[in-house]
């Protein structure tokens, strides 16, 4: 059975601003996505069959279900192509699930591109993006990688220039935060406050932050970009705010929660500081890993089949 094996890197959000609710019920947002070197391993096999059968095996048995984004991605692509096939998916999960690091979305994008190659002829980029957007707001970004601007509900992605950055420490406290819950809480707290003038102010500050990034990189975002989910998530889980405060104390020049959480990250200037921070969090019984920004060219390389 033809098989493709590839890496599925995680992402962090270098800031995430939420605007008003759209007519379709989603919130308009502005974010900067960044792929990092922490990654899952995805193996996809495919052979023609009279009826479609998708088998998922994972080192996390609790993720082996039909609602897994990787399974949904495989089904959506076959339906788009009008094909039936026997699909095998093997996931080695290294990215903490439900932490705002995009692991499920990255797995889904890896399955989409792998199956597109195996099916022949492969779908064009526009078709893949359309399927990805239908699966989830973060999935289209993982067809791009590197540093990218996300607007709309996050599915409209525009590449930004990759800029050098120091090592990154990701802390996964093991707290599951529901993204729909976080949006509902934000909408409740922001009711009546996101006036047109307030939204213009958010957009202007976001534009200034992008210019700062373009001028000097991620460190220039410190203090310029916020994550609007923090105000609601920290209210429910104050221990996350305490952990975030430990990152600057350990030397991080930029510290934020990623997505709707609960993972936190800090960007450091030296590997020595990053390693010391990892040891400090590990001593508290927390999962922490030192990794790095993954530039777009390297990300695209990670999408090539592994021999």
Tokens representing 11 are 């992402």
For 153-160, which contacts have Cβ atoms below 8 Å and span 24 or more sequence positions? Answer: 153/22, 153/26, 153/27, 153/28, 153/29, 154/29, 154/31, 157/33, 159/296, 160/32, 160/210, 160/213, 160/214
138 is catalytic: yes
287-291 and 168-172 beta bridge pairing: antiparallel
Distance of CA 237 to CAs 80, 99, 176, 214, 287, Å?
A: 41, 13, 10, 33, 17
Q: Which of 11, 162, 228, 244 is catalytic?
A: 11
Catalytic residue among 138, 162, 228, 244: 138
- Whether 272 is catalytic: no
Q: Which residues contact 302 (CB under 8 A, 6 or more apart)?
A: 6, 7, 9, 39, 145, 294
| 125-135 vs 69-81: helix crossing angle, rounded to 10 | 140
Residue 136: Cβ within 10 Å count: 22
Active site residues: 11, 138
């Amino acid at each position: 059975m033809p098989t493709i094996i590839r890496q599925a890197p995680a992402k962090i959000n270098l800031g995430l601003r939420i605007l008003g609710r759209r007519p379709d019920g989603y919130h308009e947002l502005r974010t900067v996505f960044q792929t990092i070197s922490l990654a899952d391993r995805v193996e996809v096999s495919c052979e023609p069959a009279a009826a479609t059968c998708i088998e998922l095996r994972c080192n996390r048995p609790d993720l082996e279900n039909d609602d897994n984004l990787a399974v949904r991605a495989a089904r959506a692509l076959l339906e788009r192509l009008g094909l039936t096939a026997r699909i095998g998916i093997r996931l080695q999960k290294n990215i903490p699930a439900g932490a705002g690091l995009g692991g499920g979305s990255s797995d889904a994008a890896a399955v989409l591109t792998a199956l597109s190659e195996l099916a022949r002829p492969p779908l064009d980029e526009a078709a893949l993006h359309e399927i990805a957007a239908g699966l989830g707001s973060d999935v289209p970004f993982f067809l791009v990688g590197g540093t990218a601007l996300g607007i709309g509900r996050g599915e409209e992605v525009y590449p930004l220039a990759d800029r050098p950055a120091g090592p990154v420490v990701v802390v996964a406290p093991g707290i599951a935060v529901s993204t729909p819950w976080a949006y509902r809480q934000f909408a409740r707290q922001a009711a009546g406050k996101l006036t047109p003038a307030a939204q213009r102010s958010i957009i202007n500050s976001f534009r200034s932050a992008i210019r700062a990034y373009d001028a000097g990189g991620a460190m220039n975002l410190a203090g310029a970009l916020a994550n609007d989910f923090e105000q609601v998530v920290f209210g429910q889980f104050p221990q996350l705010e305490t952990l975030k405060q430990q990152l600057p104390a350990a030397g991080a020049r930029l510290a934020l929660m990623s997505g709707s959480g609960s993972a936190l990250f800090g960007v450091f200037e030296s590997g020595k500081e990053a390693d010391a921070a990892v040891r400090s969090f590990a001593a508290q019984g927390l999962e922490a890993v030192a990794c790095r920004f993954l530039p777009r060219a390297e990300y695209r390389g990670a999408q090539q089949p592994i021999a």
